[in-house]
C-alpha cells in the first residue's frame, strides 16, 4: 500500500482528467488504492476533495484524517467488485425499514414517530412508487414484493461511488427511505438524521446519557454527514436522481 506510507513523500497533490473521470497526482505520480487500482473518481469535485486531504497531511500520513480518500478507496476496492451483492444488502433494509416499526406506547413517543416518519413514508409512496406498511412493536411487517423490487431497482442503478455512500446512509439511519430522502434532497441532512434518532433521543430524555454515548452519537452523526457529502460530490450533474 504505497500511498499509505508513514511519512509524506510528495510536495504537491494535483487533479487531472483520466479515463472518463479524474484522478489525483502526487508530484506527477498517480494515486492508487490499497489494492493498487488507479484511484479514478467520477467528478472533479470529488478528486479535488481528495487532493485537499493529501495536501493537508503533515510529515506523517494519518488515514483517519482522510475520509474522502477512504470512501473512494472503498468504492473502488470493495463496492465495485461486489456491486450486486452490496446493492442487494442495502435494498434489504426496505423489508425492515426503521420507519415501519412503531411504538405502542407511551403516547408521546407514538406521536413523535408519527409526526417524523409518516411524511417520509407518504413521500416514498408517491415519489418512489413504494408504499410501505407499518406495524406495532418488533413483529415483522411483510412488505409487498413488488414494492421491495421497485426499491431494489433504484439501488442497483447507483454506481459504485454513490452506492458506497448510500450504504452508509442507510446503515447508519436504519432506513432505506431516509437514504433516498437524502439523495433526493427532500429535507436537510441534519433534519433527516434527527428523524432517524427519534427512539434514541426519547431514551436519552428519560434516562440521560453518559460521555461515551455522547461521543458515539457525535461520531455517527459525523459519519452520516460525510456519507451525504460524498454522495453528492460523486453524483455527476448529468445523472438523474435515483
- The long-range contacts involving 200-208, CB below 8 angstroms and separated by at least 24 positions, are 202/109, 202/112
For the stretch 44-71, pLDDT in tens is: 999 999 999 999 999 999 999 999 999 9
Rounded to the nearest angstrom, the gap between the alpha carbon of residue 179 and the centroid of all alpha carbons in its chain is 7
CB atoms within 10 A of CB 127: 13
Give Cα separations from 118 to 12, 79, 172 (angstroms): 50, 32, 20
Architecture of domain 2-65: 2-Layer Sandwich (3.30)
- Three cell numbers at 75? 468504492
2-65 and 82-234: identical CATH topology: no
Farthest CA pair distance, the chain? 62
For the stretch 80-93, pLDDT in tens is: 999 999 999 999 99
d(CA 114, CA 160): 34
Q: Can you name the CATH fold of 82-234?
A: ATP12-like fold (1.10.3580)
For the stretch 138-159, pLDDT in tens is: 899 999 999 999 999 999 999 9
d(CA 169, CA 180): 9
Whole-prediction pTM: 0.93
Could you tell me the pLDDT band of residue 238, with boundaries at 50, 70 and 90?
A: very low
pLDDT at 5: 52
User: Across all residues in the chain, what is the average pLDDT?
Assistant: 93
For the stretch 157-188, pLDDT in tens is: 999 999 999 999 999 999 999 999 999 999 99
Residue 170's contacts (CB-CB under 8 Å, 6 or more residues apart) are 90, 93, 176, 178, 179
Residue ranges covered by each domain of the chain: 2-65, 82-234
Amino acid at each position: 500500500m504505497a500511498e499509505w506510507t508513514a511519512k509524506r513523500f510528495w510536495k504537491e497533490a494535483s487533479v487531472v482528467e483520466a479515463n472518463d473521470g479524474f484522478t489525483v497526482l502526487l508530484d506527477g505520480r498517480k494515486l492508487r488504492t490499497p489494492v493498487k487500482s488507479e484511484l479514478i473518481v467520477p467528478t472533479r469535485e470529488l478528486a479535488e476533495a481528495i487532493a485537499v486531504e493529501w495536501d493537508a497531511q503533515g510529515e506523517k500520513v494519518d488515514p483517519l484524517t482522510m475520509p474522502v480518500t477512504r470512501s473512494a478507496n472503498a468504492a473502488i476496492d470493495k463496492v465495485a467488485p461486489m456491486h450486486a451483492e452490496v446493492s442487494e444488502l442495502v435494498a434489504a433494509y426496505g423489508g425492515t425499514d426503521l420507519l415501519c416499526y412503531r411504538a405502542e406506547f407511551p403516547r408521546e413517543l407514538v406521536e413523535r414517530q408519527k409526526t417524523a416518519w409518516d411524511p417520509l413514508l407518504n413521500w416514498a409512496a408517491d415519489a418512489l412508487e413504494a408504499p410501505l406498511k407499518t406495524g406495532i412493536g418488533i413483529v415483522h411487517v411483510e412488505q409487498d414484493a413488488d414494492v421491495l423490487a421497485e426499491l431494489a431497482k433504484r439501488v442497483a442503478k447507483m454506481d459504485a461511488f454513490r452506492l458506497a455512500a448510500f450504504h452508509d446512509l442507510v446503515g447508519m439511519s436504519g432506513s432505506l427511505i431516509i437514504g433516498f430522502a437524502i439523495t433526493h434532497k427532500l429535507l436537510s441532512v441534519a433534519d433527516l438524521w434527527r428523524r432517524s434518532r427519534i427512539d434514541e433521543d426519547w431514551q436519552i430524555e428519560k434516562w440521560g446519557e453518559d460521555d461515551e454515548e455522547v461521543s458515539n452519537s457525535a461520531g455517527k452523526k459525523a459519519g452520516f454527514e460525510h456519507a451525504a457529502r460524498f454522495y453528492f460530490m460523486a453524483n455527476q450533474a448529468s445523472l438523474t436522481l435515483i
